[in-house]
Amino acid sequence: MELIDNLKFKYKNLDVLGQIIVWMIVCFILPFLVNTFLYLFNVNSFSVISFFEVSPSISQLFYKPWSLLTYGFFHADLWHLVGNMIILYFSGRVVLDLFGKEKFLKIFLIGILSGSFTYLLSYNIFPVFKGLKPAMIGASAGAMAVFVFLAAYMPTYSFRIILFDVKIIYLAVFFIISDMIQIPSGNAGGHLAHLGGAAWGYFYNSKLAKGKDYGNWIISFLNYVQGLFKKKTKIKKVYRKKTYSKSSRQSIDQDKIDLILDKISKSGYDSLTKEEKDILFKAGQN
């Protein structure tokens, strides 16, 4: 019991990005444990993932509508999981520091939904997919949404890749073009979902820059779901009409913000002091 209590304590002290990554790891390991247990009892026809994977079949969505979101927490193999965790962690931690928990959730979760809807519509519209009903899992659409959002907001932000610094905008363009040209090669549904998530990340950034937030409904939905289990605990819902628009930044020294952004482009986000991160966070919240 002490071990479980320690794990619960550590989990509660993680930020939302850390908690999402933990769930992704749990959802990756759990089906293997269940399959091992079922194997020992000679049960081979049951699949845990089948309850959570999303399918382009409209009839399946009627009895498992949650799959439009839950598919994003399961992965086909270890490299699939690791790749998504890397992209999500390195871009998500910056977005989380700059814009806070709510906006991160809006980008990531709606990115996953955008991916599943893009996949669903594509397989029911384009003739090339006629008769094909492959299921899909993976958080790539959500990870791409966060990555492209950051690239659109801060295109000069750089990642160190081996010995070179590469601007995030170049990586985002590379990922998008790579997904587009790989659609005919295989895993078309996955690549289409990536593009759906990327489209949401770009769209959400462009609308936030104009003071419009189209993601509030997902927080209301989370509050509702959470209220079914814990009526007294709610995710705080905040509505702001002018989120990080140019006029809203006037309360913060713009010269300081410009200097901090220049520092990020030259030395990376990790080079910032706590005070500089706080300034950027406040700029994103106002």
Is 31 a member of any domain?
A: yes
Of 212, 234, 256, the residue at which a domain comes to its end is 234
- State whether 227 and 111 are in the same domain: yes
213 and 250 share one domain: no
- Within this chain, do residues 95 and 177 fall inside the same structural domain, yes or no? yes
Residue 159 lies in a domain: yes
The answer to whether the beta carbons of residues 41 and 86 sit under 8 Å apart is no
Q: Is the pLDDT of residue 260 over 80?
A: no
Any idea what the CATH number is for the domain that residue 224 is in?
Answer: 1.20.1540.10
Q: Same domain, yes or no, for 135 and 251?
A: no
The pLDDT value recorded for residue 2 is: 75
Mean pLDDT of 166-180: 95
State the total domains in the chain: 2
In this structure, the answer to whether residues 227 and 123 fall within a common structural domain is yes
The answer to whether position 241 is within a domain reads no
In a domain, 239, yes or no: no
pLDDT of the residue at 8: 86
Q: Report, as an integer, the average pLDDT of 181-186.
A: 93
State pTM to two decimals: 0.81
pLDDT band of 243, cuts 50, 70, 90: very low
| Residue 286 shares a structural domain with residue 199 | no
Least confident of 3-7, 107-111, 172-176, 179-183: 3-7
Same domain assignment for residues 56 and 164: yes
pLDDT in tens, 82-96: 999 999 999 999 999
Give the model's pLDDT for residue 267.
Answer: 67
Residue 259 predicted with pLDDT over 80 = no
Query: Where a domain ends, among 197, 213, 234?
Result: 234
Whether residues 276 and 212 share a domain: the answer is no
Average pLDDT, the chain: 87
- Does 165 share its domain with 275? no
Model confidence band, residue 188 (pLDDT cutoffs 50, 70, 90): very high
Please check whether residues 98 and 173 belong to one and the same domain: yes
Same structural domain, 148 and 253: no
Domain containing 277: what range? Answer: 246-286
Same-domain status, 54 and 111? yes
